[in-house]
Amino acid sequence: MNIIYNLAFWLVFQFLVPHSSQLPGSQQEQKTEKTKTSKIVFKSTDGGQTWQDISEGLPKPVQDDFGVGSEVFFANDNGLYLTAGNGIYQSKPNAKAPFWKKEIFTDEYSSIAPGKAGIFAYNYRGKISQKISGTSVWLPVYTNFQKNMIRTVFETTGGTIFIGTDSGLFKSTDSGKTWKHVHVGGWVMKLVESNGVLIATSMRGIIRSTNGGENWALVINEGGVGIAVENIKGGFAAITFNTRSNTRRVRTSYDGGKTWQPIDAGLPAQPSIASIIQVGENFFCGHPAGIFRSSDKGKTWKLLLPSIENKIFNLSVSGNVIYAIPRNGGC
């Protein structure tokens, strides 16, 4: 009888009392420190003197269909917007940890762009949506645009819409009801606007329009492609690839993009310079060696932040706040 009683007690003990090697998953997880994301986004509020890693709260980087990181971003007065994982994230200029707010968004969009009524989200295959400002609602837009291979979506201050594709640039002045092919001869990637002048990167270099995008002229052509264009005080900045020197060149224009002056004499020559922005009176350049700053309009440059893991910083600005995103190859 004692044997039967002891056996029954032993069986109950085995089933009801877990062994140390069989702790429930939640208890096991408590013993494992969560891995935090890092080195995805950096932020400076003091003109580039110091940098803060604000990556906490973002998912780990992923690769898109083309084998490259899908983190695409832009900054405006509301802070930085970034695509990461399967969502779009926003960090306001004065944000403290946690730094990021995620949009409720499930479709696969690899790119984003600012818009007057709300930000655009789009992908290379031709799908475009827009978030209605002040709401959490995303609506499909420009559904009659029957092209894929989309590289950029841009809205002017007057409400004209441009869509850059691998086959050129398309324009709509009636909210996307009709489209006109205004530039042929290869892709168009990025556009900026100032005082009625449009500047864009293209497959042949930097192009310019002074009549609302109806006609375009090539203003920088060094055998390679246009890499970047940005607005600066009183003009534009641009990066192009020079096939003769096998380097990327950095230039500025203060006459509406008619003529361009090099400002990279003090930068180490490299084929992968990624970005150029202006904050206050200073220029900042994302370079393979790190982030450089010039306080004399590009005559001399000072290295502020060395590169991380051999990546190149892409830069964007919101007011006086600088954001830096390290990427393989720069862009």
**Quick check: 81 and 73 in contact, CB under 8 A?**
yes
3-state class (DSSP) for residue 146: coil
3-state class (DSSP) for residue 57: coil
Q: Whole-model pTM?
A: 0.85
**pLDDT tens string 24-53:** 333 333 333 345 788 999 999 999 999 999
Calculate what percentage of the chain has a pLDDT beyond 70: 85
Residue 156 has pLDDT above 50, yes or no: yes
Which CA distances in Å does 52 have to 38, 55, 279, 302, 324?
11, 9, 17, 19, 10
Task: Output Rg (C-alpha) for the chain, integer angstroms.
Answer: 25
d(CA 68, CA 226): 20
Cβ neighbours for 169, distance < 8 A, ≥ 6 positions apart? 162, 163, 181, 182, 183, 188, 200, 213, 216
Residue 304 backbone zone (phi > 0: left; psi -120 to 50: alpha; other: beta): alpha
Please state the separation of Cα 280 from the chain's center in Å.
21
**pLDDT tens string 109-154:** 789 999 999 999 999 999 999 998 888 889 999 999 988 899 999 9
